[in-house]
Amino acid sequence: MYIHNNIMSTNGLSMTAIFAERALLPNGWARRVRIVVGDDGRIAEIAPNSQEISASPTLKRSCLVPAPSNLHSHSFQRAMAGMAEHRSAGRDDFWSWRELMYRFLERLTPDQIEAIAAMVFVEMQESGYAAVGEFHYVHHQPDGVAYDNIAELSERIFAAAAQTGIGLTHLPVLYTYGGAGQKPLKGSQKRFGCDIDRFNRLCTAARTALRNSTPDCAMGLAIHSLRATDPEQYRILLDRYGGEPIHIHAAEQHREVEEVEQWLGARPVAWLLDNMNVDERWCLVHATQMDVSETQGLARSGAVAGLCPITEANLGDGTFNGRMFLDHEGRIGIGSDSNIRISLSEELRQLEYSQRLYYRARNVMTEDGHSTGQALLLRSTEGAAQAIGRDSGALETGKFADMVAIDTTHLAFCGLTEEQLIDGWVFATDDRVVTDVWSAGRHCVINGQHVQREEIEGRYRHTIRLLADRI
C-alpha cells in the first residue's frame, strides 16, 4: 500500500519520478533535480538543472537528502519507554535498568512483538530513516523452550518490516551465557539462549522465511557481546557467516570491561582487534569505554562504530571519543537501540553535544569550515549503509532510493543558507520537518505520516493496554 507516481521508461518499465528544488548529491547541493526510481527500488537517473514539466505525474518536493539506515535497534524495548525513569534504591545504572527490561520481556507474546516492531518501524521512517538493522536476541518462549517454528519471532520482525515497507537487515543474535567466563543463563535470559547448533538451525529457518520478504531485506550476524559468548563460538560463526555484516555490543560499561579483561586478559575492543580480524564487515556497537589505543585501532580497522547517543545517555553508558576516532579516519553510524526516543535529528544532535561536553568545544564532529549537521548526516548515512550491508548511503545512480524530503519552508529554515539547511534540521528544529521518506523507492511517509500509521498505531495501543494490565 504505497503511493507511486509512475511514468514509463523507454524500455517499457514503470518508473517513479521526483522533482526537488534542491538535493544533496555526493558532490554537494544541486538545484532543480529530477530523480527517477525504477521498479527495482534503485535510482535509475539523476538529472540536476532539469526543467519541471507540469504535465508529467512527477512528485514535487522542496529538498531531498539521502535517508540513513538505523544500524542498531531492539524494537521490543520501545514498549517500556518511560517505565524506567523512577530512581530505584541504591545505585541506579545500566544493570538495574537491565533487570527491569528482563522482567518486562517475560510477558511478551509473538503477536505483541510484531505489533511493537511495526510501530517502531513507522516511527523510524517518520523521523527520516529508510532502513534498520534489527539486533534480534529474543528468540524463544519465556522458559527458553523454542517455538514450534524456531524462527517464529524472527518472522514476526519480517512481517512488521513488510507491513511498513522499511528496509531490513535482520541480525539474529548468538547469546549463550549469562556473563563473562561462561556463566549460565538465568531467568529471562533463557529467551535469548542458543548454542551453536541451535543458532544455526534458527538462522537457516529465518533465511528461508526471509526469501518471501521485500527484495532489499537481508540478514547478517550478531554476537551479543564478549560476555555472552566465547572465543571458540566466534571462530565457528565466522567460518560459516564471515561474508555477512557482523555486529557486536562492545565495551558499553566499565563493569563489562573489567569482567572481560579479568576473563580473557585484555580489554574487549583490544581483544577483538587482536583476535578476530576486525575489518569493514564489522560494526562495534556503543564502544563508549575504549582507551586511546583501542579508539585508534578500531578507526584504522575500517569497521563502523555503531553509536546510539540517546540510549547511551539514557543508560549512563559514557561518551564515545568521537574526534579522535574521526582523526584516524574512523567510520560511524547511528542507531536507536532501546528506542526510548526515536528521532534521527536528536540522535545526531545528541552525538555532537556529547562531544562538545567531552572536549569543551564547539562543532567537533566536522572539519574546519564545514557544516556540522551535514557532516553528521552524511557520515552516518554512509557508515550505517556499510554496517548493515545495504547498497545505499547516497543519492547516486544504481543505489537503493533511500531518500528523505524536508520542508525548507518551515520557520526554522527562513534565515539559513543552503549550506546551513541540515544544521537547521539537526540543531534548530526536529523531525516534524520530515515530509516524505522513500525506502528503496517505496513511498512510505507522505506529508509527515506513514501510510500505514492508523492501522499500526491502533494495534500498538491495544498491545500496550494488554501489557499494562499484566505489569
pLDDT digits (tens, 9 = 90+) for 106-162: 889 999 999 999 999 999 999 999 999 999 999 999 999 999 999 999 999 999 999
pTM of the model: 0.94
pLDDT bucket at 219, cuts 50 / 70 / 90: very high
Write down the catalytic residue from 170, 249, 286, 443.
Answer: 286
| φ and ψ of 89, to 5 deg | -65, 140
Q: Are 409 and 399 in contact (CB under 8 A)?
A: no
Alpha carbon 169 to its chain centroid, in Å, reads 9
- pLDDT of residue 416 exceeding 60, the answer is yes
Write down the catalytic residue from 139, 140, 317, 337.
Answer: 337
- pLDDT of residue 13 exceeding 50, the answer is no
**286 included as an active-site residue:** yes
pLDDT one-digit tens code per residue, 161-204: 999 999 999 999 999 999 999 999 998 899 999 999 999 999 99
pLDDT bucket at 87, cuts 50 / 70 / 90: confident
State the pairing for strand pair 69-73/167-174. Answer: unpaired
pLDDT one-digit tens code per residue, 16-37: 899 999 999 999 999 999 999 9
- Amino acid residing at 448: G
Q: What is the reported pLDDT for 81?
A: 76
Q: What is the reported pLDDT for 286?
A: 95
Q: How far apart are the first and last CA of the chain?
A: 35
